[in-house]
Amino acid sequence: MTEKRFSPSCDNNREPILAVLKEALSGHTRLLEIGSGTGQHAAYFAPALPHILWQTSDLAHNHSSIDAWLAELTIGNVRSPLQFHIGVDEWPCNDVDSVYTANTTHIMQPHEAQIMMQLVAQNLSSGGIFCQYGPFTVNGEFTSASNQSFNQHLLNEGCGGIRDIAELQKWASGLVLAEQHSMPANNMMLIWRKP
């Protein structure tokens, strides 16, 4: 039986994320989503961005949920997930001019987050854009007490924890951090561009 999972946080923050994506992705056509999770974001964003061919990707155990969400769509601009495990699999699709990832960077181990930043920088086409959503620290400081508590929870669960923006900039050689948007629930949207 297909497992269609639901994440409340995906639902809660999708409108403000979409508002940023509509502007950031206005001139782009081929997007890779890294870590599509339940599939909710792809199922919501792709119909609202009909000019984008939205390619989902994730670990194999998440594919059934992603496909279950995509099966309900009536438009054809979103693709079934590719297998993509950062640090294990090769970059899954060529010729993308945009990349989107949400709530993945703090789950990854530091070396995996570093690999992701490097892979995006290497494989994004010139003029491409990388939209990275989640909690981040700024100059080593947490943006809220709740994020500091969340980070401790992440570490206790074996996750890599919240990364600092300066650290990501160091890893993302070839990308320019063009915009930082404050988002609900003490998150940010980082907009990286490849000159």
Is residue 3 domain-resident? Answer: no
- Give me the domain span that covers residue 132: 8-193
Count of helix runs (H) and strand runs (E) in the chain: 7, 7
Average pLDDT score over the chain: 96
- Residue 1 pLDDT more than 60? no
pTM listed for this prediction? 0.96
Can you read off the two tokens belonging to residue 124? 């994004």
Instruction: Average the pLDDT over 107-111 and give the result.
Output: 97
- Is 145 part of a structural domain of the chain? yes
Give residue 3's pLDDT band: very low, low, confident or very high (50, 70, 90). Answer: confident
Query: Mean pLDDT, to the nearest integer, of 140-144?
Result: 96
In a domain, 1, yes or no: no
pLDDT of residue 22: 98
Rounded distance, CA 144 to CA 151, Å?
11
Whether the pLDDT of residue 2 is over 90: the answer is no
CA–CA–CA angle 121, 125, 131 (5° rounding):
60
pLDDT at residue 132, rounded to an integer? 98
Q: Are strands 129-134 and 98-102 parallel, antiparallel or unpaired?
A: parallel
Is the pLDDT reported for residue 49 higher than 60? Answer: yes
At residue 10, the pLDDT reads: 85
Q: How many separate domains does the chain show? A: 1
Kindly state the average pLDDT of the residues 55-82: 96
- The stretch 24-36 carries a mean pLDDT of 97
Q: What is the CATH number of the domain that holds 178?
A: 3.40.50.150
- Nearest-angstrom CA–CA distance, 142 and 12: 22
